[in-house]
Amino acid sequence: MALDTGTLTKAETLLHGQGLVSVDEAARLLGVSTTTLLTELLNGKCPITAYANEWPCWQVDTLATIAQESNGSYLMNEVEEVGNRRIYSGAVQPLDSAAAIGSLIATSSYIGDIFRVGAGGAVFCDAKHEMGVAAVLANKSDVDAIRARLGNLTANAPFIAVTPPEPSAADPITSKHGKKRFSTLFDLYKNSREWREDQQRRMSTEAKLFVDLMNDPTLDAIDVEAILKYARRLSLVPSDISLARRRYNVTSVEELIEVAETQSLGRKSPQTIKGHIGRVSEIINFAVRNGMMRFNPAADYKRGRGRNTKQRAQDERDVFTPEELRCIFSLGWYKNGKGSDKNFRPFMYWLPLISLLSGGRLNEISQLYLDDIKQSETGKWYLDFNLIQPDKLDDEGGKISREGDKSLKNANSVRLVPLHPVLIRLGLPLYAEALRAAGEERLFPELRHDKTKGYGKPAGAWFNDRLLGRKLRMPRDGRKTFHSLRHCFITALERQNLPERLMTQLAGHERGNSQSTQRYAKDRGADELVVVIDALQFDFLQDVAPLDIKAALAALAVAKNRKQVLRRALLKRKQDQ
């Protein structure tokens, strides 16, 4: 390898002090190829870094507390147990920097979905992300050590300060104002207006929504793509943000999006989204008029739609196609009645089946107690969706009221739904009895309760992100989620040409539009509803194997043991801090 000693010994301001430097740029400064520098980083066991840009993920503070399979993969159940759901932006490092550098040398890219962050933490991404050589950064100190080694120099070789030239800007407007934040622009706009108090409050709320959803972008980052991204993110938040924040005690946008999904809240309609973007457009127009931006990328948002065009409620979320349902219900645990690794939990088997065959919402099913699986006087099995919560006994045998453990969307959600024959064939009543014999009270004791999102939080993350997104590679655009199973159930009911009130009762909706149906007509009992549920036919469920109850109980035991280990590890970490 022929090296230019003069280039290597030449001082470069970029390598002074702490911080990161692009590997491509560092190689140019040292006069070596990028491959050579990567090889030196690999030999020196040096870490590499890249930047994440709004990656949906689970973040854990201490990676060392998460158990691994024999093949080295992490138990995602534990990641969701101790982690936080978020949209991550910031510095990340590959889980194995040596392997990542090796891949970069061989193929000029690295692809991964687990990255280290902070001091001992990690993010587990919903999708794999590619890190190209151009995006790789290294520590300045590591590059400087390589510079010294290649030039056969000491670490104390003298430096001559060189000031790098300022970047030239082709556009004077961008050069002067491009790095201003949207929040700064809004403050200028607000101070230029004479608003009434209510109008100022409304516009300040609009600006804050854009700042929160888009991470307060700089003006040079606000383009048409950014506006379309804002529209997509708006479609994920609850239609009434203030109500959702008060009801579920959440503040961050990520939590609002998660609450909207797990609690099946109404989302903002396309027409409402258009209104939000129109008000952002007013603020951007101020920037254009005052020479702070070249053009308004929000001005033409969906201008071609008619004023009265409105998306139908039935179009807000899609049902699964028969092929997609067949794909879901042909997974390993449905073929064999049990999971094949330590990540398997019984809720993975039952939740999709129960939702498809009862129309239950995610949290409604996740919070079921064993006492909610009942039999009528004639012996018909049914699910009782209610807010009744059994008392808990304390150590001395006294009863402790269990408050806040259950929640339903509204009063109309209280209902009963007969068990479909498939659920009985697959062993749901038998499994409930086995759990009761084992001393359990809840149908899914492996699901952890979240104060704001109920028991559905970890289950929703598993189904929507890990199963649909990562395993089955379905687009994660909000169109198909766990709630789509409920849509399949209600669509199947509709095909039977049932009376409207009967459909709304089974779906847990308001019972009709008149006084007669809402106030005076009473819900039908399980014995009357059995014939309706029994008529639902899903041919692809014929090959589903009954749950292996012994294996399921063993999986629960593993989950409980790991929970105890995690609690001890987290407690020790807090004490050490």
Q: What is the pLDDT of residues 520-530, one digit of tens each?
A: 456 788 899 99
CATH of 322-400+411-564, one of 1.10.443, 2.60.40, 1.10.3470, 3.40.1400: 1.10.443
Could you tell me how many residues make up the chain? 577
Alpha-helix runs per DSSP H in 290-330: 322-328
pLDDT band at 508 (very low <50, low <70, confident <90, very high): confident
CA 437/CA 509 separation, integer angstroms: 35
The contacts of residue 166 (CB under 8 Å, 6+ apart) are none
pLDDT at 489: 92
Q: State residue 471's pLDDT score.
A: 87
What fold characterizes domain 176-314? DNA polymerase; domain 1 (1.10.150)
Q: Helix (H, G, I), strand (E, B), or coil: what is residue 51?
A: strand
Give 502's contacts (C-beta < 8 A, 6+ positions apart).
524, 529, 532
Q: Give Cα separations from 337 to 538, 543, 548, 555 (angstroms).
A: 18, 11, 5, 12
Exposure class string for 150-165: b at 16+ Cβ within 10 A, else e: bbeeeeeeeeeeeeee
| 145-187 per-position pLDDT tens digit | 887 777 654 344 444 333 333 433 445 777 788 899 999 999 9
The neighbour count for residue 364, using CB atoms within 10 Å, is 29
For the chain, give the percent of residues with pLDDT over 70. 83
CA 560 to chain centre: 24
Q: How confident is the model at residue 376 (pLDDT cuts 50, 70, 90)?
A: very high
Fold match between 176-314 and 322-400+411-564?
Answer: no
Three-state DSSP state, 266: coil
Q: What pLDDT does 17 receive?
A: 63
Strand, helix or coil for residue 454:
strand
- Tokens 């067949």 identify what position? 326
Cβ contact 108:133 at 8 Å = yes
Distances (CA, A) of 452 to 46, 279, 388, 465, 525: 42, 31, 19, 20, 32
Query: What's the predicted TM-score (pTM) here?
Result: 0.59
Give the dihedral sign, CA 317/326/258/402. Answer: positive
Query: What are the backbone angles phi and psi of residue 324, rounded to the nearest 5°?
Result: -70, -40
Q: What is the mean pLDDT of residues 347-370?
A: 94
- Cα separation, 521 vs 518, in Å, equals 7
More confident site: 442 or 414: 442
* Per-residue pLDDT at 562: 81
**Can you give the pLDDT at residue 152?**
58
CA Rg value for the chain: 29
Q: How far apart are CA 416 and CA 418, in angstroms?
A: 7
pLDDT score, position 216: 92
User: 50: part of which helix (H) or strand (E)?
Assistant: strand 48-60
What are the residue ranges spanned by the domains of the chain? 5-150, 176-314, 322-400+411-564
What are 6's two structure tokens?
């003069």
Q: Which contiguous run of DSSP H or E holds residue 338?
A: none
Please tell me which residue, 168 or 290, carries the higher pLDDT value: 290
Please check the confidence at residue 4 and state whether its pLDDT lies above 80: no
Q: Judge contact between 391 and 402, C-beta under 8 A.
A: yes
Residue type, 190: K
For residues 132 and 108, is the Cβ–Cβ distance under 8 A? yes
Predicted pLDDT at 3:
47
Is residue 396 scored above 60 in pLDDT?
A: no
Higher per-residue pLDDT: 225 or 536: 536
Averaged confidence pLDDT in the chain: 81
**DSSP symbols for 474-518:** ---SSSSSTHHHHHHHHHHHHTTT--HHHHHHHHT----SSHIII
Cα–Cα distance measured from residue 138 to residue 537, given in angstroms and rounded to the nearest whole number: 58
Is the separation of the CB atoms in 493 and 536 below 8 Å? Answer: yes
pLDDT at 304: 39
pLDDT in tens, 28-68: 878 888 898 999 899 889 999 998 888 888 899 888 888 77
Element (H, E) at 374: strand 373-375
* CA-closest candidate to residue 265, choices 409, 138, 469, 163: 409
Coil, strand, or helix at residue 393?
Answer: strand
For residues 291 and 502, the answer to whether their CB atoms sit within 8 Å is no
Locate 488 and state its tokens.
Answer: 């399949």
Top-ranked range on mean pLDDT: pick from 19-23, 209-213, 261-265, 352-356: 352-356
How high is the pLDDT of residue 574? 67
Listed in sequence order, the residues at least 6 apart from 333 whose beta carbon sits closer than 8 Å to its beta carbon are: 339, 340, 344, 348, 349
Q: Are 286 and 192 in contact (CB under 8 A)?
A: yes
